[in-house]
């Protein structure tokens, strides 16, 4: 105790507390029990069956039906007041859905009408199965772009439009199948591997590709008339620009002056398309790959949108259930002339802003699109392509999120690199490879954190018995004779060699520093951050202990967690390397107890004894 | 303070310690500095250049030469006494090397003489470059088996023996190239991914394949003469059995009674073989794959053997330097009619037992093998193949380590499954796929530990201010109004969804349990085990905080480590979600400080106030 240290008001507490608390293994649980608990945490972390507990059979059936069809949950309580809100928001998103549908279908190299079909059937399916109140369903730019560019690698949409359409529907089928499977198998966490950094880089890269493509077609216009000046002003309000430009072209007969227009569109609602699905032949690999990539990308957007608005309005969406809903939506869509759809971010934001209360706004949008398909379609034939191009460019330019990129640069340089890899990978290699490399790189980083875990040296914060990182807390002090290290990762086959080498290097550096060779008595390993261990990890301790014994240094473990102490005990039937007297609950207790034992021992020993002994 | 609690001798310390210690970020370091430190920990954890620090240029040159050629380090101090030990041990391992060389070459479907060549050149190379004193170099059973079976998948060793030999030498070249590259690029940690569990399963599977192959050839013997009875007795001492059986066959002219023998062997030392290396043509993929697999397997054995004996005799081997030595040994070997070699476990154990002191024992063995090659070779033509088969079976049966398998079962069930996968994968699929699946599975487990990190609820150990896992420490007690959770993994893109859901589930369960809805005031997240965080992880806290605020619960962080607090501060310029008053150094201080603030506040508030407020 240092009387000169003003901050150590209560340091006498530390010195008089000689009581030592035991480290205990957790109570016995059978392997089966542990396996079941692990399984539950892995696949059912949200515990979806909890609401069924302690309910009558009847109630369980009702809850079950409501679980599968959320519409049964909110439907019976639906009121006219809610409908008024949903009607307004539904009409609002419909005004967005029509021009977006036409533009995004064009982005996917599909006939514009398919974009409208895709805003009719899928929203109805989602209204029955989905659990988000804010999600507005329809085609989205990224999935459209990716599908278009992946399919075009093997089939030309201009030379063989029917085959291209067949492949698009089949890809949509596989996307839906994959999405629903992820949900049913409760493997939804796979989409977490597309981190925010990757998505930001990827979307910016995709936006640039699309913009360049559209720019090419914009520049390809031969007669540059005065209507063009309107475009930048119009793009802010897609439906208005479509209507005005269509009327203008119609009035001035612009198509005869070289303005490229959509051309004749088929009237009527979605024709069936299950006869267009191709499950055999040369393109099966291509459609499965395209389905997988567009499926995972659209799922990521849909789930993120659902979660964002649920958090905003304080309700819960079940990720795996959402995946099943989006998956079924696409499987059914693929049989009714729709291509891949999901919860669209921009559209859902508008929906939420316009006051949507339930999925009924999706139904309103769907009905509006249906009316359009039945009666208004022929009018769109005069819509100039350049306006659609402008809508696309505006949409995708919005995907470039510079402030988010800067924020990532500030916080985490490695995430920034991953972002750049996704960005340049998508631009210069391909969508699938760019994504794969970025995911691989971020997974590699996680593995590297395990392979090269941090080990930090702890010191005592004066006037307490708190031990913290010496680098971080400059006032913390070393305790002579002790080397206190904290290992900050699970210990397993991938890092035992490193941990062994690194620990020995600490000791050597220590010996170099203090020069008196035998000054170091104890190595205390603080294990609070070692959440798991495997058989290799156990062998590390055995090896480390025997190496240290040869140097006359004793190994002490502090606060091994449940799994770790349990496995150490199992591996050590003879109690030869983890005895109670080198196992402590806190670093403070370990230091206090070992120091006093050391003192009492050295006072009873003869003068000049060389070693303070490794066991006592 | 509870006066009835006999164990709480000093609990007054806790209650009177109201001093609160600050969490501080680590001192500023530039990105470049952090990057360099990370790079060093990743690739140079053993800090090989430390010995050069503060030395004169002359001394640095000497140290550098000694670093590249360890023989320069121990050579000048070599004494006659050491040589006597090395001579005995060298002769002993030569007696093992000759029969093993012949047998293992047979296992690799190569001419027996190649096995002897491989015990002549590589040991000499290793003696110059290697840093282990106990490693005895030569062909080993696993690498021989794998090379033989991989090459045989595409080329028949009986129909096209010359091509087969060319491919074996070329594979050896690639194995060496790969090994040396791992060492030079300091990527040695890659071999750590072949965990002990995988190796035990793999070796047992390999042993069974080989035994079955040899059994087939044993059963293929047509004339079963009385010499056969000797075989089981002989196998214990390979050289003796080879000599006795050879003499017997010679005496009784056994080869005429249908006993299959080696046949005529070429006399003389290794012919050059660089003209046999094939770097083009159809088999390039095969030899590269074979080189990679045999290279990594033999490297794993060699490094493990080197480390084991170094730990036993208390000196250090440098893993990356050993890889370079073994790599060069194989590259040079491939040009001098040797196939893949490494530090053999059985041979090194014998070497150590026989008293080897330095790598000179390898030189003695090499010279003995040379003498054999030059003068004794013709005598081996009468060695019966059945004896070689028996030697092989004995060697590989020794690879099946049942006690180690049982130990793995006891300690870690998942490791046991990985072991079984390696075992059955090698037997029923193939060497490379079996290994790849097992490595994939154990890597997946590590990733799963990150994706589904443990979160445990902490309670106070009575009479202390220590907070520990409530499941593990049954005496620990909950503090009313607080939910104290410890997160036991780095927080990143792969687990934020889970952590968010899981934390909210704890809160809901909590609310269900205590029924009084607004009883929960604080969630304390103990962050001591969160060693790293990325940009996604930062967003988790922002989101969690806003969700909790809606529930009237305040988020408190305890002991965020250097990297975590640094990034939190960077992301939070406006100080809106990490204020000093919800950041504590220990759980004890957090609970004490928040409880007393809560008490003083509720006494000044009007009766019946519903919320204790989220900010104060």
Backbone φ and ψ for A405, nearest 5 degrees, come out as -65, -40
User: What is the token pair recorded at A283?
Assistant: 């393109």
Name the helix (H) or strand (E) containing A614. Answer: none
Distance between A281 CA and the closest CA of chain B, angstroms:
29
DSSP code per residue over A141-199: HHHHHHHHHHHHTTS-TTT-HHHHHHHHHHHHHHHHHHHHHHHHTT-GGGGGGS-HHHH
Torsion of CA A128, A131, A134, A138, to 10 degrees: -50
Note the residue count of chain A.
616
Are residues A278 and A375 located together in one domain of the fold? Answer: yes
Q: Do residues A22 and A92 share a domain?
A: no
CA distances in angstroms from A383 to A103, A339, A380, A452, listed in the order given: 11, 22, 5, 59
ipTM score for this prediction: 0.80
Kindly state whether residue B222 falls inside one of the protein's structural domains: yes
Domain containing B109 equals 78-398
CA distance A609 to B57: 41
* A66 occurs within a structural domain: no
Q: Using DSSP, state whether A207 is helix, strand or coil.
A: helix
The DSSP code sequence of B96-154 is HHHHHHHHHHHHTTS-HHHHHHTTTHHHHHHHHH---SS--EE--HHHHHHHHHHHHTT
Q: Which two tokens stand for residue A442?
A: 């971020």
Sign of CA dihedral A511, A514, A520, A523: negative
The pLDDT, as a whole number, for residue B406 is 92
- Which stretches of chain B drop beneath a pLDDT of 70? 1-19, 216-241, 252-265, 395, 514-518, 574-577, 601-616
CB contact under 8 Å between A21 and B489, yes or no, is: no
H or E, element range at A17: none
**Residues A556 and A461 occupy one common structural domain:** yes
Nearest to A10 among B17, B530, B561 (CB): B17
Rounded to whole angstroms, the Cα distance separating B561 from A362 reads: 46
Contact A550 B314 (CB under 8 A): yes
What the block records as the tokens of A599 is 């003192």
Within-domain flag for A47: no
pLDDT for A289-332, tens place per residue? 999 999 999 998 898 888 878 877 777 788 888 999 999 999 99
Q: Touching check for A408 and chain B: CB below 8 Å?
A: yes
Comparing CA positions, the residue from A21, A14, A16 lying closest to residue B461 is A21
Residue B25 contacts A, CB cutoff 8 Å? yes
Q: Are B125 and B329 in contact (CB under 8 A)?
A: yes
Q: In this complex, which of B197, B446, B493 lies closest to A192 when CB atoms are compared?
A: B493
Is residue B304 within 8 angstroms of chain A, CB to CB? no
The whole-number pLDDT of residue A163 equals 93
**Cα→Cα distances B246→B96, B253, B385, B418, Å:** 16, 10, 10, 43
**Which of B23, B182, B494, B534 to mutate against chain A (most A CBs within 10 Å)?**
B534
Question: What's residue B228's pLDDT?
Answer: 35
Contact across the interface for A196 and B493, Cβ inside 8 Å: yes
Residue B486 lies in a domain: yes
- Chain A (452-481) residues lying within 8 Å, Cβ to Cβ, of chain B: 452-454, 456, 461, 463-464, 466, 468-469, 471-474
B443 — contact with chain A (CB < 8 Å)?
yes
Three-point CA angle A460, A466, A467, nearest 5°: 50
- The pTM score is 0.78
Domain count, chain A: 2
Answer yes or no: do A433 and A485 share one domain. Answer: no
Residue A76 CA to residue A66 CA, distance in Å, equals: 11
Burial grade of B381 (CB within 10 A; 0-12, 13-18, 19 or more): middle
Contact A493 B442 (CB under 8 A): yes
User: Distance between CA atoms of A378 and A401, rounded to whole angstroms?
Assistant: 37
- Given a contact cutoff of 8 angstroms between Cβ atoms, the answer to whether B343 and B302 are in contact is yes
Task: Tell me the helices (H) and strands (E) count for chain A, helix number first.
Answer: 24, 8
Contact B531 A454 (CB under 8 A): yes
- CA distance to partner chain B, nearest, from residue A493 (Å): 5
Phi-psi region of A497 (alpha: psi -120 to 50; beta: other; left: phi over 0): alpha
Q: Which of A472, A531, A538 sits opposite B24 (nearest CB)?
A: A472
What pLDDT score was predicted for residue B232?
36
Between chain A and chain B, the number of residue pairs with CB atoms below 8 A apart is 251
Report, as ranges of residue numbers, the positions in chain A whose pLDDT lies below 70: 1-19, 216-241, 253-265, 395, 514-518, 574-577, 601-616
Of A453, A493, A501, the CB nearest to B531: A453
Neighbours of B141 (CB within 10 A): 25
The residue out of B398, B421, B440 marking a domain boundary is B398
The span from the CA of B296 to the CA of B292, in Å, is 6
Give the CA dihedral A172, A98, A141, A123, nearest 10 degrees. Answer: -50
Q: Looking at the domain assignment, is residue B384 inside a domain? A: yes
Among B398, B425, B442, give the residue marking a domain's end: B398
Structure tokens at A579: 């005895």
Q: Do B22 and B108 share a domain, yes or no?
A: no
- Of A132, A60, A146, A136, nearest to A104 by C-alpha is A146
- Do B282 and B172 fall into the same domain? yes
Closest CA–CA distance from residue B611 to any residue of chain A (Å)? 19
- Contact across the interface for A451 and B529, Cβ inside 8 Å: no
3-state secondary structure of A601: helix
Summarised one tens digit per residue, pLDDT across range A459-491 is: 998 888 889 988 888 888 988 889 999 998 899
pLDDT digit string (tens) for A4-17? 433 333 333 444 44
Residue A34 lies in a domain: no
Q: For chain B, how far is it from start to end, CA to CA, in angstroms?
A: 26
The answer on A460 and A441 residing in a single domain is no
Asked if A493 lies within 8 A of B531 by C-beta distance, the reply is no
In chain B, what residues touch A408 (CB-CB under 8 Å)?
535
Position B445 scores a pLDDT of 87
Structure-block tokens of residue A4: 């000169």
Tell me, what CATH number does B490's domain have?
3.30.750.24
Nearest to A311 among B492, B543, B567 (CB): B543
Question: Whole-angstrom Cα distance, residue B197 to residue B414?
Answer: 10
User: Is B152 inside any structural domain?
Assistant: yes
Is residue B57 in some structural domain?
A: no
pLDDT, position A260: 65
Q: Are residues B383 and B498 in the same domain?
A: no
Q: Which residues of A touch B412 (CB under 8 A)?
A: 534-535, 567
> Do A163 and A291 lie in a common domain?
yes
Coil vs helix vs strand at A260: coil
Residues A442 and A586 in one domain: no
Asked if residue B107 lies in contact with residue B141, where contact means CB atoms within 8 angstroms, the answer is: yes
Residue numbers in B near A528 (CB within 8 A):
528-529
A434 shares its domain with A465: no
CA distance A133 to A284: 36
Residue of B nearest to A42 (CA): B452
* B238 and B99 Cβ atoms separated by less than 8 Å: yes
Q: Are residues A409 and A466 in the same domain?
A: no
Residue A61: Cβ within 10 Å count = 11
Tell me how far apart the alpha carbons of residues A131 and A70 are, in angstroms, rounded to a whole number.
6
Q: Would you call A25 and B528 a contact, using CB atoms and an 8 Å cutoff?
A: no
Element (H, E) at B518: none
Q: How far is CA B188 from the centre of its chain?
A: 10
| Continuous H helices in B359-479 | 360-371, 385-397, 402-411, 413-428, 431-451
* Rounded CA separation B412/B423 (Å): 17
């Amino acid at each position: 105790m240092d009387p000169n240290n003003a901050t150590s008001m209560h340091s006498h507490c530390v010195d008089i507390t000689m009581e030592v608390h035991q480290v205990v293994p957790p109570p016995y649980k059978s392997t089966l029990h542990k396996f079941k608990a692990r399984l539950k945490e892995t696949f059912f972390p949200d515990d979806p069956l909890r609401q069924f507990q302690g309910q009558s059979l009847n109630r369980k059936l009702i809850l079950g039906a409501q679980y599968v069809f959320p519409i049964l949950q909110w439907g019976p309580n639906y009121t006219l007041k809610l409908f008024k809100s949903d009607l307004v928001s539904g009409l609002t998103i419909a005004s967005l859905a029509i021009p977006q549908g036409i533009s995004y279908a064009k982005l996917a190299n599909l006939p514009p009408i398919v974009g409208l079909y895709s805003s009719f059937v899928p929203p109805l399916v989602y209204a029955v199965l989905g659990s988000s109140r804010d999600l507005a369903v329809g085609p989205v730019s990224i999935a459209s772009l990716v599908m278009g560019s992946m399919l075009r690698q093997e089939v030309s949409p201009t030379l063989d439009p029917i085959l291209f359409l067949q492949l698009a529907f089949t890809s949509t089928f596989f996307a839906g199948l994959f999405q629903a499977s992820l949900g049913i198998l409760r493997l939804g966490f796979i989409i977490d591997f597309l981190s925010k950094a990757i998505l930001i880089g990827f979307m910016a890269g995709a936006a640039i590709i699309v913009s360049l493509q559209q720019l090419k077609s914009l520049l390809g216009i031969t007669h540059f008339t005065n209507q063009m000046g309107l475009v930048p002003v119009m793009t802010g309000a897609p439906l208005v620009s479509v209507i005005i430009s269509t009327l203008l072209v119609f009035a001035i007969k612009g198509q005869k002056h070289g303005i490229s227009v959509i051309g004749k569109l088929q009237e009527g609602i979605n024709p069936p398309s299950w006869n267009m699905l191709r499950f055999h032949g040369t393109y099966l690999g291509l459609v499965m790959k395209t389905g997988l990539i567009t499926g995972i990308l659209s799922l990521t957007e849909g789930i993120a949108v659902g979660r964002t608005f649920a958090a905003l309005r304080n309700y819960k969406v079940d990720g795996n259930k959402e995946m099943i809903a989006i998956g079924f939506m696409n499987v059914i869509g693929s049989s009714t002339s729709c291509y891949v759809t999901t919860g669209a971010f921009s559209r859902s934001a508008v929906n939420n802003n316009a006051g949507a209360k339930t999925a009924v706004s999706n139904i309103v949008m769907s009905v509006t699109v249906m009316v359009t398909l039945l009666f208004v379609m022929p009018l769109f034939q005069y819509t100039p392509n350049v306006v659609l191009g402008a809508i696309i460019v505006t949409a995708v330019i919005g995907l470039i999120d510079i402030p988010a990129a800067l924020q990532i640069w500030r916080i985490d340089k490695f995430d920034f690199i991953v972002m750049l890899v996704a960005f340049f990978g998508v631009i210069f290699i391909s969508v699938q490879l760019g994504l794969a490399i970025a995911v691989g790189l971020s997974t590699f980083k996680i593995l590297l954190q395990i392979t090269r875990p941090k080990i930090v040296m702890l010191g005592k914060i004066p006037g307490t018995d708190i031990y913290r990182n010496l680098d971080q807390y400059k006032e913390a002090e070393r305790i002579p004779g002790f080397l206190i290290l904290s290992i900050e990762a699970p210990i397993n086959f991938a890092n035992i060699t490193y941990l062994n080498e690194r620990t020995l290097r600490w000791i050597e550096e220590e010996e170099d520093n203090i020069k008196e060779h035998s000054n170091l008595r104890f190595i205390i390993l603080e294990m609070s951050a070692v959440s798991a261990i495997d058989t290799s990890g156990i062998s590390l301790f055995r090896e480390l202990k025997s190496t240290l014994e040869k140097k006359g240094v004793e190994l002490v473990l502090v606060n091994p967690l449940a799994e770790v102490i349990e496995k150490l005990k199992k591996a050590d039937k003879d109690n030869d390397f983890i005895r109670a007297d080198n196992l402590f609950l806190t670093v403070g207790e370990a230091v206090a107890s070992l120091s006093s034992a050391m003192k009492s021992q050295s006072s009873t020993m003869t003068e000049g004894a060389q070693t303070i002994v490794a066991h006592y």
